[in-house]
A = this chain, B = another copy of it.
Amino acid sequence: MSSPSTGTERPLEALVGRSIGAELPSELEELLPPLMQDLREIDARLEQVLQATYPQLTQAARYACQGGGKRIRPLLMAVALRALGADSTRSVHSLAAAFQLIHTATLVHDDVIDHAELRRGRASVPRAFGLPVAIVTGDYLFVRAFELAAEYPRGIILRCGEACADLAEGEVLESGARFDLTTGRAHYFRVVERKTAAIVSAALASVAEIGGGGPPAVDAYAEYGRSVGIAFQLRDDVLDLYGDPDLLGKPLFSDLREGNPTLVALEAHAALSGPEKGEFERLFAIRRKQSGDLLRLKELTERAGAPERVGEEARRWAERAVHALTPIPPGPYRSLLEHLARAAVARRF
């Protein structure tokens, strides 16, 4: 397929490696080959769904799905199913592909809303294909996701739908709070619960249901998914200041530029006082920030100790995720879920 891609494709192993982190204990290393195979099969299921005869949409839809990011969602789903004793993850391949498509659809529409130029190190879909194609491609990916979800019992389709509705609500909540530092922590967590945590929680709760884990496993995975989602988002907020833009695939300071009141910004604002607080407010409110503005905001954020405090808070959510796994039978796959929660808050991309 020819595409207006400007980036290079990274192999699946390298991408997934970012979700797993550098320091995987050697006894968990041996779990990776079957999981990589799971992810390849989920990718293949997704490819298959996008092979339909929609010549206008197929190119943009596949472009949007290419690369596919760190695969944290399908990886968590595959590990979670195996932790319940499953020998194969085939029963969740379509659902994992559906959640990947929903995630991708949201990214495409987010990039329209944010006028984002870059995504995963190359032109965003609206940049590469224009706004009309980007909007419709997002819709198309949602439709394909629901077709995949239709393979499952109604309860799972509805859980998936509610998570999508949460996600939409979270996006509107977020877009209404731009450049506004008065929204506060409670509002921040309302957004994150809906925009990031709900979909991971729904995906993992569905895995527990499909895997026959019973209500304790469903609740455990719902809570694990929610906590991992929140931890992940908190780490993302910090990485907006300290990440490696090449690995992130987008420029640093994107949140500051778009005026997102991340927890880092809210904590900094709350901790500063006097003229520094006033300066922070003034700089944060600038619609087209210059490099100097961004660097000064970062400096003030650091003086307030905000990145460290948010980093600690992320680690607390990761431990909460680990704790939520208590009802799951102990074993190497449960250990890997614990590892993945902690890796989410230690990652640098």
Binding site for B on A (CB under 8 A): 52, 54-57, 60, 105-106, 109, 112-113, 130-133, 135-140, 142-144, 146-147, 149-151, 154, 157-158, 161-162, 164-165, 168-169, 171-173, 175-176
User: Looking at A139, A161, A162, A165, which has the most chain B CB atoms within 10 Å of its CB?
Assistant: A139
Chain B residues within an 8 Å CB radius of A105: 139
Is A157 within 8 A of B165, CB to CB?
no
Chain B residues within an 8 Å CB radius of A149: 146
Is A146 within 8 A of B146, CB to CB?
yes
Is A112 within 8 A of B135, CB to CB?
yes
Q: In whole Å, how far is A91's beta carbon from the nearest beta carbon of chain B?
A: 16
A-B contact pairs, 17 of them (CB 8 A): A52-B165, A55-B169, A56-B173, A57-B165, A109-B135, A113-B135, A132-B171, A135-B135, A135-B138, A136-B172, A140-B164, A140-B168, A147-B158, A147-B161, A147-B162, A150-B158, A151-B154
Is B132 within 8 A of A144, CB to CB?
no
Chain B residues within an 8 Å CB radius of A136: 109, 113, 168, 171-172, 175
Chain B residues within an 8 Å CB radius of A112: 131, 135
Is A176 within 8 A of B56, CB to CB?
yes
Q: In whole Å, how far is A151's beta carbon from the nearest beta carbon of chain B?
A: 7
A-B pairs, top 9 by smallest CB distance, nearest first, are: A132-B175, A56-B172, A147-B161, A140-B168, A150-B157, A146-B146, A143-B164, A54-B169, A113-B132
Bound together, the chains give a CA A331 to CA B143 distance in angstroms of: 37
Q: In whole Å, how far is A147's beta carbon from the nearest beta carbon of chain B?
A: 4
Bound together, the chains give a CA A345 to CA B291 distance in angstroms of: 60
Chain B residues within an 8 Å CB radius of A165: 52, 54, 57, 140, 143-144
Bound together, the chains give a CA A164 to CA B54 distance in angstroms of: 12
Q: Of the candidates B133, B154, B158, B169, which one forms a contact with A175 in the assembled complex, judged by CB atoms under 8 Å apart?
A: B133
Chain B residues within an 8 Å CB radius of A176: 56, 133
Q: Of the candidates B158, B162, B169, which one forms a contact with A57 in the assembled complex, judged by CB atoms under 8 Å apart?
A: B169
User: Looking at A112, A172, A176, which has the most chain B CB atoms within 10 Å of its CB?
Assistant: A172
